[in-house]
Amino acid sequence: MDTHVHDRRRFLALAAGAAAAPLLTACGAGFGGNDDKSDGSAADDVTGSFDWKREKGTTVKALLNKHPYTDALIADLKSFTEKTGIKVEYDVFPEDNYFDKLTVDLSSGRASYDVFMLGAYMVWQYGPPNWLEDLGPWMRNSSATGAEWDQADFFPNLLQADQWSLKAGAPLGQGGQYALPWGWETNVVAYNTELFKKLGVKPAETFDELTELAGTIKRKAPGAGFDGMYGIAVRGSRSWATIHPGFMTMYARNGLKDFTVDGGKLTPAMNSPEAVAFTEDWARMVKRGGPPSWTSYTWYQCSSDLGAKKAGMLFDADTAAYFQAVKGASPASGKIAFHPGPKGPGGSLATNMWIWSLGMNAKSKKKSASWLFLQWATGKDHLRRSAIAHNHIDPVRKSVADDAAYKDKMRHLPGFLETFETVVDQTKIQFTPQAQFFDATTSWAAALQEIYGGKGAQSVLDGLADDLAGKVG
Amino acid sequence: MGWRLTLRPYLLIVPALLLTCGILYPFGLGLYYTLFDFSASKPQPDMVRFENYRAVFTQEAFWNSAWVTVLYAVGAALTETVLGVAVALLLYRSSLLGRVLEKILILPLMIAPVIAAIIWKLMLQPSVGVVNHLLKPFGLGGVQWTDTPTGALLSSIAVDVWVYTPFVAILALAGLRSLPTSPFEAAAVDGAGWWYTFRRLTLPMLWPYVLVAVIFRFMDSLKVFDIIYALTEGGPGDSTVVLQIRAYLEAIRFQRYSFGISYTIVLWAVVYLAAMVLVKHLGKIQRKAAEVTT
């Protein structure tokens, strides 16, 4: 009997040990993950003369976001395979899930995808844990990069937006090149010309005028034959994406900063007296002329409201208006014009931007082939074809922006080219680069919602600044 | 022969042991990770012991989320129970209509909660949503359902109620149909009224079934994510950020893995304790119901 008990104990002890062994092993291994990182770049392995066919027969796996720019890329993939002999397999996810999918995939440390779409803000999150390949050595290696790629042809502010030293608060344009600009969006005001004509109004040149105009449209548009129309569509959902288009553009035009940087230490500045006053003004504008159910508004709703003649104006990405403005796209198509939007004090047209960039997985086993893909996707030929034959507008390359065929294509949209040319040099990332960007901006959007809901701006933004002070730095 | 007999019981428990390990392994791993400061910015973490839990409990955001979670769970479970039992009683009394309605009633359960939330998001849209359109004749057309903290929470609960009330109703209906008829016949002979019969007979005997539904719904509501995230994303402000959403944001969006897991472990403890209390209560109620039946 004693032996039996002893046996059972021994068995349970062995079973527990067997169960715990992989647990402990996995725990140890779970944190490792970076042991195969080499000091040198894989770009150094590429030697000899440049050859598009160098990786013939290889397959590159891409993760893409559902977007008209993506459609243009997919439509032209055949030419890449013909040029290089490299096959591209891809998965496309809608934007709501895209970044979660990418984040989880990269954080797993596997090389499920060799290349992917990302924004400049994602560099701040994915760069510090070494998930992104530094493309600088690839760009500098003439064996890996063809002469026709022409780095100088990119708008400098776009190329710099994906360069960072990985140090919180350090300005962009220094350090590694963690992605390449591929397609971008500048934030402007688009408006319904039919409505403006009927009401006899003009685009606002100051923020006070914009607030007034938004209210006027909400009051008068229904009487002018635009039933249910409100003044201005701006994003309002509890997401980082609410802060970066119109709000951050106008915030920057007022000379305001998200953080101040002193000796590498970041201090939240969204509760400065000027920032509080501006935030109150923004919430007031939304209340007076913004969309109903604003707190759930993403760019999809903003864009479709402009197209459906539910919004008189849109202060968001130019592409959000463009896709409604093209012929046959919406009830408002042919009646949408573009304007740089209100100027800040002193005439500032500082504009925040979004860049759809392309990056490479640092764990990719096919870096050479992936680099050829990135080179082709951001090259002159593909981008020109995409801009002219498809809807890959807002060129990242000067040669495409200056191309006569591109200009001819865009000329029918009133104010589009003029607006683009007016703001292009003043458009840049207006946020301070730091790894907690998504936490900071999601909390900022929540604060904006609370102020819109009637809470005191100063106390809400003080709370936000206190919370963020402990997280960044 | 002897060793075979000795080994047999152990061999028989192998499948259960494997299953248990399959459940415990990820759980244990998660628990272990909470003792580190594992995040995207710190892939080589230090052991911080219970620092993550201390940080969770000292965070104002945690207590806000805990409060919202409790409000949501109690509100949803209570409403679903009352409505579910009421619907079951109606269907039980009207047998022909009951059978038809029973088939329709199950429809919301066949829709994924996230899809239900999106459908309701469109229906609650202030300017083009059908709800305000229907309320317009009563002078209530301009309601901004999810723009205020109270409205957002109540709207989320309403969607939960829409999806899961049929679950409670079906369970209660099954319970009603399984009740013995003799106590009701005796009550009818004694001239007992409907309310008296319901209070003294139906409800006590039905309670075990209802409590099973309450346990399921309360535990599920404590863990809600999909409905709220699709409807409000946790807004406006932090008004509908329940613990699951907070954990998701911390672990996935902000990549503070250990901290995010700590949130889920705390939530697990709350759900576990609540379930233990309710299950214990269920035993007592079952005994009482048995007394009424006999």
Q: Are residues A142 and A243 in the same domain?
A: no
What Cα–Cα distance (Å) separates residue B168 from each residue in A251, B145, B157, B171, B277?
A: 51, 26, 15, 5, 20
Give pLDDT, residue A425.
87
Which residues in A lie closer than 8 A to residue B24 (C-beta atoms)?
A: 19
Is residue A2's pLDDT more than 70?
Answer: no
Within-domain flag for B136 = no
By the CB < 8 Å criterion, does A281 face chain B?
no
Contact A446 B126 (CB under 8 A): no
Q: Strands of A201-258 (E only): list them.
A: 230-233
User: How far does B25 lie from chain A, in Å, by closest CA?
Assistant: 7
**Rounded CA gap, A2 and A8, in Å?**
10
Chain A residues with beta carbon closer than 8 angstroms to that of B253: 100, 103, 438-439, 442
Reading the block at residue B160, the tokens are 């939960």
Please, which pLDDT band fits residue A50 given cuts at 50, 70 and 90?
very high
Over residues B89-122, the pLDDT tens digits come to 988 877 777 788 888 888 999 999 999 999 999 9
Burial A71-101 (b: 16+ CB within 10 A, else e): bbbeebbeebeeebbbebebeebeeeebbeb
Residue-number span of the structural domain to which B48 is assigned:
29-109+159-293
Closest partner residue to B233 (CB to CB) among A128, A237, A467 is: A237
Task: Select from A296, A438, A450 the Cβ nearest to the Cβ of B121.
Answer: A296
The answer to the question of residue A35 being in a domain is: no
Count of domains forming chain A: 2
CATH code at position A137? 3.40.190.10
Tokens of A141: 């290696």
Q: Are residues A193 and A314 in the same domain?
A: yes
- Whether residues A211 and A274 fall in one domain: yes
- Chain B residue with CA closest to A101: the answer is B252
Disruptive mutation site among A103, A296, A462 for chain B (greatest number of B CBs within 10 Å): A296
Has residue A437 been placed in a domain? yes
Nearest CA in chain A to B123: A293
Structural domain includes residue B223: yes
Q: What is the ipTM of this complex?
A: 0.86
| Angle A451-A455-A458 from CA coordinates, rounded to 5° | 80
Question: Any idea what the CATH number is for the domain that residue B191 is in?
Answer: 1.10.3720.10
A128 with B17: Cβ contact below 8 A: no
Same domain, A293 and A198: yes
Question: How many domains does one find in chain B?
Answer: 1
DSSP state of A43: G
What letter represents residue A352's amino acid?
N
**Does A372 lie in the same domain as A337?**
no
Residues A336 and A290 in one domain: yes
Of B10, B124, B255, the CB nearest to A125: B255
Query: A residues 234-263 near B, CB within 8 Å?
Result: 237-239
pLDDT in tens, A142-183: 999 999 999 999 999 999 999 999 999 999 999 999 999 999
Give pLDDT, residue B294.
65
A30 to B33: CB separation less than 8 angstroms, yes or no: yes
The pLDDT tens digits for A211-255 are: 999 999 999 999 999 998 999 999 999 999 999 999 999 999 999
Q: Measured between alpha carbons, how far is A105 from A98 in angstroms, rounded to an integer?
A: 11
Give the pLDDT score at B284: 86
Does any CB of chain B come closer than 8 Å to the CB of residue A298? no
- Evaluate whether residue B98 is within a structural domain: yes
Residue A79 CA to its chain's centroid (Å): 27
Angle subtended at Cα A331 by Cα A326 and Cα A336, rounded to the nearest 5 degrees: 50
Q: Report the candidate in A415, A397, A368 with the shortest Cα–Cα distance to residue A51.
A: A368
Q: Do A442 and B236 touch (CB under 8 A)?
A: no
Task: Write phi, then psi, for A186 (nearest 5 degrees).
Answer: -105, 155
What is the span of the domain harbouring residue A401?
59-185+354-428
Q: Is A128 on the interface with B (CB under 8 A)?
A: yes
Report if residue A25 sits inside a domain: no
Residue A22 lies in a domain: no
Please report whether residue A51 resides in a domain.
no
In a domain, B212, yes or no: yes
pTM of the model: 0.89
C-beta atoms surrounding B96 within 10 Å:
7
Contact B41 A129 (CB under 8 A): yes
Of B10, B25, B152, the CB nearest to A23: B25
